[in-house]
Amino acid sequence: MLLCCAAAALPAPPYRALIIDGQNNHAWQETTPVLRRLLEETGLFQVAVVTTPPQGGDFSSFRPDFPRYQVVISNYNGEPWPRPVQEAFTAYVRGGGGFVVYHAADNAFPEWPEYNEMIALGGWGNRDERAGPYLRLRDGKILLDSSPGRGGSHGARHEFLITVRDRQHPVTRGLPETWMHAKDELYDRLRGPARNLTLLATAFSDPSTRGSGEHEPMLFTVAFGKGRVFHTTLGHDLEAMRCVGFIVTLQRGAEWAASGQVTIPVPRDFPTAERVSVR
Ligand code: ZN
C-alpha cells in the first residue's frame, strides 16, 4: 500500500514512446538500451521497445499499436515490414504521430514511397537519382540537386563541427551556432524526396576524410501530413552516442516530435565550437 502510494506521488511521464529494433547492420542490441535511457532520463517519456523477428522470421505477430504512442523511434534497418504494418505506420504519422529517424533507420525501406517521404533523405539500399535529389547548400540556401549518382556514403569516423542552420526551431533554439560532435560517421550524399523539410544543422564533409566536399544535412525535421518527423543522422555507435550534442538533440527532437514543443533546457555541458563534450 505504501509502495503504491509512494509511486503514485510521482507524476507519470506525459508521453509514450516506442522504439523499434530487431534488424540493423548496426549494433541495435547495444544502442536501443542507450536510446531508452536517454529518453527516460528526461522524465518525459514512458518507453516501450518492440523487437522484430530476425531476417526471414515470422512477422505475423509484429503488429505494433502505433496510435498508442506519441512518438515512435526507429532503430531498424532491415527487411520490409508486412504491408499492413507499413499502412498502419503511414496512417499513424500522417494522422499526427511523432517519428524519430535515428542514424541507419534512414537506410531502411528504399522501396516504400511513404517512408521515404517521411525521412525526406536516405542512403544506401541501391538509392540513386531515382530516390530523389541531393540536398545542397548554395549561398546559405537549399538547392535540390538531381544529378545522377549514388545515395549515401560516409568517410572515416572522426570528430566534426556541426553548424546550426535554424536557430529559431524549438529543437535547436538556444544551442551554440557551431559545436564539436564526438567521433562519428558523417553521412554524406543522402538523397530522397526532400519535401516539407526544415534543415536544422549541417556538417562539412571534408574530402580529406573521404567526404563529399559539401555541407551535409545532419539534423532536420519533416512534415508528413499532420505528423512531425525528427531525423538525426548521428549516433553510429556507443562512442558517438556519448556526445552531449547527440544526446540533447535526440531528446529535444523526440519531445518535439511527440508534442510540437520543447521544454528540455540546453545543459551546461553542451559542447562548444572548440571542445567535444561526452557523458
Ligand atoms: Zn553507422
In order of 96, 171, 197, the CA distances from 221 in angstroms are 14, 9, 6
Q: What is the pLDDT of residue 6?
A: 54
Indicate whether 270 belongs to any domain: no
Indicate whether 271 belongs to any domain: no
Model pLDDT for residues 48-95, shown as the tens digit of each residue? 999 999 999 999 999 999 999 999 999 999 999 999 999 999 999 999
Written as nine digits, the cell of 205 is: 564533409
> Average pLDDT in the 20-38 region?
98
- Ligand 1 center to residue 123 CA distance, Å? 11
Range of the domain at 169: 15-53+62-259
Q: What is the pLDDT of residue 140?
A: 87
Indicate whether 8 belongs to any domain: no
> 182 near 176, Cβ under 8 Å?
no
Under the banding of pLDDT at 50, 70 and 90, the label for residue 8 is: low
- Ligand 1 center to residue 74 CA distance, Å? 14
Indicate whether 278 belongs to any domain: no
- Ligand 1 center to residue 13 CA distance, Å? 30
Q: What is the pLDDT of residue 114?
A: 98
Q: What is the pLDDT of residue 9?
A: 65
Buried b (16+ CB within 10 A) or exposed e, 174-200: ebbeebbbbbbbbbbbbbbbbeebbbb
> Average pLDDT in the 234-255 region?
98
Q: Give percent above pLDDT 90 in the chain.
A: 95
- Ligand 1 center to residue 231 CA distance, Å? 14
pLDDT at 44 over 70: yes
Location of C-alpha cell 506525459: 14
Indicate whether 81 belongs to any domain: yes
Indicate whether 277 belongs to any domain: no
Which element (helix H / strand E) includes 219?
A: strand 215-224
What is d(CA 214, CA 154) in angstroms, rounded to the nearest whole number?
12
Number of domains observed in the structure of the chain: 1
- Ligand 1 center to residue 12 CA distance, Å? 34
Model pLDDT for residues 115-147, shown as the tens digit of each residue? 999 999 999 999 999 999 999 999 989 999 999
Indicate whether 267 belongs to any domain: no
What is the domain-level CATH number for residue 144?
3.40.50.880
Q: Please give the single-letter amino acid code of residue 31.
A: T
Indicate whether 83 belongs to any domain: yes
pLDDT at 11 over 90: no
Average pLDDT, rounded, for the chain: 96
Model pLDDT for residues 161-174, shown as the tens digit of each residue? 999 999 999 999 99
- Ligand 1 center to residue 31 CA distance, Å? 11
Q: Please give the single-letter amino acid code of residue 237.
A: D
Nearby residues for ligand 1 (ion, Cβ within 5 Å): 185, 236
Q: What is the pLDDT of residue 55?
A: 96
Q: Are strands 15-21 and 71-74 parallel, antiparallel or unpaired?
A: parallel
Helices then strands, counting H and E runs in the chain, come out as 6, 13
Under the banding of pLDDT at 50, 70 and 90, the label for residue 220 is: very high
- Ligand 1 center to residue 104 CA distance, Å? 6
Model pLDDT for residues 149-195, shown as the tens digit of each residue? 999 999 999 999 999 999 999 999 999 999 999 999 999 999 999 99
